[in-house]
Structure 1
Amino acid sequence: MAHTQKQFEEFHENIRISRSMNETLRDKRDKVLDRIKNHLKSNNLPTFRRLLQGSYQMKTGTIPLDGQEYDIDVGLRFPVEHDGNELKASEVRGWVHAAVDGHTTKVEKKRSCIRVTYSKGFHIDLVCYSVGKAHRKPTQYQLADKDTGWRPTEPADLLEYIRQALKEFKHTENNQTQTDQLRRIVRYLRRWNDFQHVTHGIKRATGLAFVLLACAKLKPVTDSDGTPNDLRALRNMVSQDANRMERISVKKPTQEYEDLFTGFSDEEMKAFKDAWNDLADALSKAEIATDLAIASGHLRKVFGDDFPVVEKEKPMESRGPAIISSSTSA
């Protein structure tokens, strides 16, 4: 059996967001937040507390492929008591939109956020929350929805759920980036989905969908010497939903408990599942391959060119026995 861990970790390094890009995203985020705070202060409006969320906070972001964008999600927690006299969600969203309008050439009012898009291929999603007292909890979050107004949500509890799931993977960090197996595998799945989207038009799931699939179905796998075995761990996870009649689904463990694949039509889900079955097949073939070049070939077909190429070893040339001649001179 070919050992592919080195190639998987090189693949992970190829697709993870670089430190310099993380610094750029962080700098742009901080400038936007400062702009909002200054706007609120100058207009005598309530300010907010920041809540980092999304792939940036969970460290599962990947380098986008053609036509896709880097993204960063930031929660803005406003002190709003829901006592019948509370501010409307549209008012709070309006404050934020007014603060960032004109900051770039493209600012959009999305359903669950205000999106600030930059020309260099990334955007910042600003999610407005109200945070007030609750009957049985220290705080109650509600999200400012463009269409429905305030709706209950639990972003802090969701982050805590993921933190608890990560504890099982504490012994699976790689040496180069100290990233645990769950986060690495989420990145592999995100790149698989992006590659399938670009090459075959497969609909993209959210990053959170892959995080929660991994939290629910991934188990840590290491070899006898303690080395992580990402291929086997990923195969074990993917095979659970491969070649089954049911839709792939995963529900958020907090309000609103929605299935994160609800947005897939039956046709889109069929295409997604067909690609998922191909992924399971490629992982199985790679696991039983005895030649590393063949194993990497199977994996490159589903993950794309960022998965390392392994050249096939050339057989040793056979040579006949050396002939030693001797001569005498007169």
Structure 2
Amino acid sequence: METGPHMELRHLQYFAVLGETLHFGRAAERLHISQPPLSRQIALLEEELGVVLLDRTRRSVKLSAAGERFLQDAKDILASVERAKRNALTASLGHSGSLSVGFMFAAAYSVVPPITRAYTSEFPGVDVHLTESIPRLLMQDIRESNTDVAIMYPPSELEGLETRTVFSEPLVVALPAEHPLARRTGTLDAAQLRGESFLISPRVAAPYIYDAIVSHCKRCGFTPKIRLETNYQQTIVNLVGQGIGVALVHRSMKTARPINVKFRTLANPPYVDVNVTWNGLNHNPCIQTFVALSEKLGAELKPGG
């Protein structure tokens, strides 16, 4: 069974130009085709629609009532097609879409706020969803693609993952305000904390920071006596303020301004890195725009936070 001609985008383009010029010769010139093919295509378009779009005389071409209505609809369709092209290109470049970002709590006091502000400002077409979690669960979410990108410590297992360091800062000592060491001035050596009760994140939740703290203490001649383990740096600092023990925490935790806590600078402190990490099989284009901006902003925040 044979079918008649079908309307194509080029037919709408031809008619839109002709509807604007109302002159076959000028329309053909603008479209870079000769006049006879243009006339045939318009005639075929009218045949398919079953209406007269143009009132033709030897001296003039005018739009019929149907032609005026169809011209507006044709322009709307063509504009929608162009918008769809732009949207597809924008999405492919990571300038629109959605992005789920997980972050560890400690980063909320350093890079998460400036990165989020900068990214949402530069890419307003991306819907960013932030979720706080612990490093172990962030790793699981990245591997299962429940989260697109994570702001966290460097991952311990890199298989299948991509990661970039975007920030680094030293650890400092958090002491109860009434602790004798809190009243001294100058740099504090970690060896002076021998015998103190430490508050720390559990290794199962955050092996990177746990190992950094324990290793530094051992280099200073002792193994820290751990009184309490809890997942979040803010909780650790608050408990320090309650006199439960001492802790080595990110320097950026000073901005939390906890009550009854004094921060002291460490001699030769260990530095902790904050990375952006994602699954190499996750092809969400927004990941790359987020990573690039995070690296750029992180470089501006260095050295040492």
TM-score, normalised on structure 1?
A: 0.23
Between structure 1 and structure 2, the one with the greater Rg is: 2
TM-score, normalised on structure 2?
A: 0.24
Which structure is richer in relative contact order (CA contacts within 8 A, separation 6 or more)? 2
Q: Which structure carries more strand by proportion?
A: 2
